[in-house]
Homo-oligomer: A and B are copies of this chain.
Amino acid sequence: MKKIKKPLTSSMEDYLEAIYELNLEKSFVRVKDIAKKLNVKMPTVTSMLKNLRDREYVNYEKYEFVELTKEGEKVGREMRRRHDVLLKFLTKILKIDYKTADDEACKMEHTLSPSTLQRVIDFMEFIQVCPRAGMEWLSHFEDFRKSGNNPGKCLERGSLDTPCQVIRDRVEILTKADN
């Protein structure tokens, strides 16, 4: 008879991630700190801790400090890893400002499947490794955006010679609505 674990909700993942991170900073994790980090009130934390304790993700006795179980730590670390990957993608590739990127990563980290996340990592590696791309290439992206998506800048510095119509067609394919 198998024991089927109910899947964690996004909210539960947030708590585990928060506890994991607080644990890196301090040796004691307290209800108050979790509440502050997640912008919720303390009673909300207490009830979630009971819930996570029932599911065996935390060891918790009332009025005592909170500890992640092995399983809980695994989830917490994984959430942080995802957050990290997404944050890097948003800041270093898409050049989104840190604060916004951090917020978006918080939300996205719950929705992406492991395989999609891996694809993001692969893509970042590819950009770094490919001699036609790299950081220097990404700096052209900034020029491009800052000039109002005018291809001029990129074309000037580019190494290939592509007719304007071809470029317009390419853009069409990827970025215009379907219907």
A: which residues have CB within 8 A of B? 24, 81, 84-85, 88, 90, 92-96, 100-101, 103-104, 107-108, 111-113, 115-116, 119-135, 137, 140-141, 144-145, 149, 151, 154-155, 158-162, 167, 170-171, 173-175, 177-179
In the complex, what residues of B have CB within 8 A of residue A158's CB? 130-132
Decide if A154 touches B130 in the complex (CB within 8 Å): yes
Interface centre among A95, A133, A167 (most CB of B within 10 A): A133
Contact A116–B88 (Cβ < 8 Å): no
Tell me the complex Cα distance, A141–B100, Å: 28
Apart from A108-B108, A128-B170, A128-B175, 16 more pairs, CB < 8 Å: A84-B177, A85-B175, A92-B174, A93-B123, A95-B119, A96-B115, A100-B116, A104-B112, A108-B111, A121-B175, A124-B174, A124-B175, A129-B149, A132-B154, A133-B133, A159-B159
Contact of A104 among B116, B125, B151 (CB under 8 A): B116
Looking at the assembled complex, report how far the CB atom of A90 sits from the nearest CB atom of chain B, in whole angstroms.
7
Shortest Cβ distance from residue A95 to the other chain B in the assembled complex, whole angstroms: 7
- Offer 12 A-B interface pairs, CB within 8 angstroms, sorted by A: A81-B177, A88-B175, A93-B123, A104-B112, A104-B116, A122-B145, A124-B174, A126-B140, A129-B154, A130-B144, A131-B159, A132-B133
Once bound together, how far apart are the Cα atoms of A122 and B146, in whole Å?
11
